[in-house]
A and B are shown apart, each in its own frame.
Chain A
Amino acid sequence: MGYSDSDDVGGDNLEAYCNNLSGNPTAIVNYDESDTINATGNWWNSAAGPEREFKTYNKSMQGDKVNGNVEFTPWLTAPCPDGESFAPVEITNLGGGYPSIQAAVNDAGEEDTILAKAGTHTENVSVTEDVTITGEEGTHCEKPTVLEGSFNIKVDGVTVKNFKITNTGNIREIEGVFIGDSAGYTDDPDKVIKVCSNVIDGINSTSPEVVAEGIHVKSYDNGDQINGVLIKENIIKNIKKSDYGANGIKLQANVNNITILSNKIQDVRGTWIYGITSTQSSLEEVIPKNVDVKHNILKNITASTYRGVAIGIEEATYPG
């Protein structure tokens, strides 16, 4: 059984819910861009929902396929009528369900809270709204919500917490969390960016001559100074770049009032290595100011060519 909404069948206002969609190469398809099929509340033969073009949530476990202009979130966690309604991401203060973190960010308003449910979310999230993004609560070392990808925080006042973040790729300098906006950052003196209680474990790029960082804060020459960042109670480990540089935390250029508190940075490996470094950039020959680093453990910061440095202030333009 499958559903389609096209000119041939005249599918205006088509709805499909409480269906058990199983064994279909494509369960629902809609190529009519002027009309959306409401297909929420269905069982797609997987608790991870349907297989879709942009696979983000538990992507290896997704069920029957959906194509085109179809709204499918929330879905059922088991066949109807026993399955419960589930969305992998919610805006908790609004109650809306979303298939991806990015979709929730795009729909969020100022100071909304976005909850990413337990499971693996595979996406690079661009955060352009002042929101709190949280994974589900876990133990100190185990976080049930995993992000395979990165957060790029582009605005002030954002909080990211309770995630396990891994990021491996081959296209550019790679981070778990990047704070900055090459298009121009706008600082709000009354707000602070917070990155707290995350496990950033496994940042590695296969591209030659790019650096890997757990957390990277960088200003550019066409925006405000980044003023006010709290990096607290994170575990940052397995940051590795075998033929180049790697950093647990890198602060770069015109950033100010940075507090790095009670983090554990361990197993950072590469040609040259810093646990925490403060340095200028090629665009701004300014070293970060008012950096407060307290109660952190830095262990096994080891380099293959140069000597590993736990905490360093650099003056080179392109330090690790």
Chain B
Amino acid sequence: MVANYNCFIETPIGALNKNQSDTLDARYNYWNSSQGPDGTNGAEASSNVSYEPYTEECANITIENTPMVLMPTNQKVLLYRLVQMSHGPITSPTMVMLNSTTSH
């Protein structure tokens, strides 16, 4: 299972994986804390859950007012990782979009 760009709010455990033969990809999620699953009041991650990098915020979580497509807001972490992975200029459309978002 791949679970990215989700927000876990006021929930004790953000991601739980009892399938010991496989890793749950839970990167780029918001864990109810700017410090991720290990932060104060953070939603926990179990073993066999890959959760880094995580995002520090999840904006507009009020269920009645939230835009339908919502991305965790701390794109700096994501961009940093993408740049790290790319080892060079950002060329794909997705990466260009993220770069533009973080410039504001």
Contact = CB atoms under 8 A, between A and B. Distances in A.
Contacts of B26: 311
A125 B69 CA distance: 29
Taking residues whose C-beta sits less than 8 angstroms from the other chain, chain A's interface range is 35 or more
Contacts of B11: 275, 298-302, 308-310
A310 B15 contact: yes
Contacts of A314: 16, 18
B78 interface: no
Given A266-B63, A297-B63, A298-B8, A233 B15 contact: no
A291 to B, nearest CB: 4
**Which bucket holds chain B's interface residue count?**
20 to 34
A33 interface: no
Contacts of A235: 63
B1 A278 contact: yes
Interface of B is mostly: loop
B9 A299 contact: yes
Interface of chain A, helix or strand or loop or mixed? strand
A312 B68 contact: no
A287 B3 contact: no
A124 B64 CA distance: 27
Contacts of A316: 18
A172 interface: no
A264 interface: yes
B12 interface: yes
Contacts of B17: 312-313
Contact of A300 (B3, B10, B69): B10
A317 B27 CA distance: 27
Given A233-B68, A262-B70, A275-B11, A310 B5 contact: no
Most buried by A among B1, B2, B8: B1
Contacts of A278: 1
B61 to A, nearest CB: 6
Interface of A: 140-141, 233, 235, 237, 262, 264, 266, 275-276, 278, 287-288, 291-303, 307-316
25 contacts: A233-B69, A266-B63, A287-B19, A292-B1, A293-B4, A295-B5, A295-B6, A295-B70, A295-B71, A299-B61, A299-B63, A300-B9, A300-B11, A302-B11, A302-B12, A307-B12, A308-B13, A309-B14, A310-B8, A310-B13, A311-B6, A311-B14, A311-B15, A311-B16, A313-B17
Interface of B: 1-19, 22, 24, 26, 43, 58, 61, 63-64, 66, 68-71
Given A293-B4, A300-B10, A309-B11, 10 more contacts: A292-B2, A294-B5, A294-B6, A298-B11, A299-B7, A299-B63, A307-B12, A309-B12, A311-B8, A312-B17
